Amino acid sequence: MPMSKNPRWKCLKDLGIYLAVYLVMTSVGEILIGTHVMSLFGVNNMRASTYDHAMNQLSDTAANLLTGLALVYAYRRRNPPEKRGPGLPGVLHRLQHMAVGLVLGAGAMSLLVGILVVLGVAKVTTVAPQITTLTLIPYFISVGYEEEVWVRGTVQHTLAKVMPLALVITLSSLLFGAIHLTNDNISLLGITNVVLAGVLFSVFTWTTKNLYMAIGFHITWNWFQGGFFGMTVSGHDFIGKAPFKVSMESGHDLLTGGAFGPEASLLTTVLFIGLSVAVWLFYRGRQTGTEQQLPTAPTAAE
């Protein structure tokens, strides 16, 4: 078989193209939008006021959305015309998946905070929120969209054409962990939980055959963590005040996650594993009831 027609070679070539698009767009977004465009609005990173932080969050939002859209465009160019995108069918027909993801993400983070409070290693206080609480909403929407399109969308859908399901989930989840390796205060348990989050998002994608539940969970998990409870998100502290402030007791890093935030908590490990198993069994039960089988791979057209 000629190399040009070998599906594995095409898979490798496509992944290289998607990686190039991702790197170029993130670099352009950082330089063009993050520096030049923001300077037109009087943003001064050295001043670091609430206004500066809010505007920087909005600039990152624009860069993330443009990167996600560029990846969708690249995927469509590299696949047959009938493909509607990497796991992104018409959203109006999949609103229930998005809604379930949003509720699960908010509920999971709230449950985690509740357990930490009950265990006596965290305390919740109320504060007067700042504008950054609101600007974090579009920011985390863009993060959920971009990362899911990149990892579960273009990469996972491409690997699924030439690899078995278990290997696809493993590789895409490891990639998800790898893109967080440069985060501040990274720890072994923290990166392990990020990989497990990737497994959970892969399960969402495979069982629903689209990205919307994963995107929804990703959005509210992050926003409730940083924008609502004022905690560190994957090692990042977001300047500003959230409606609630969760303060962690020192000396309990295994439960609280330490400087990386609750995503490095052992409780999060149990939560992600439990959710992955529960969602898989739930959808397998539904499919068994209708005498169907779970898909071996979600198609972009579905």
Write down the pTM of the prediction: 0.87
Strand runs labelled E in 103-164:
122-126
Alpha-carbon Rg for the chain in angstroms: 20
List per-residue pLDDT tens for the chain, 302 residues long: 455 568 888 899 999 999 999 999 988 877 776 564 555 555 555 555 556 666 777 888 888 999 999 999 999 888 876 555 677 776 667 889 999 999 999 999 999 999 999 999 999 988 777 776 788 899 999 999 999 999 999 999 999 989 999 999 999 999 999 999 999 999 999 999 999 999 999 999 989 889 999 999 999 999 999 989 989 999 888 766 678 889 898 889 999 999 999 999 999 999 999 999 999 998 877 766 544 444 444 443 33
Start-to-end C-alpha separation, the chain: 30
- Identify the sign of the CA torsion 54, 59, 62, 65: negative
Q: For the chain, what are the domain ranges?
A: 89-289
**Tokens for 179?**
């893109």
Give the integer Cα–Cα distance in Å for 301 and 298. Answer: 9
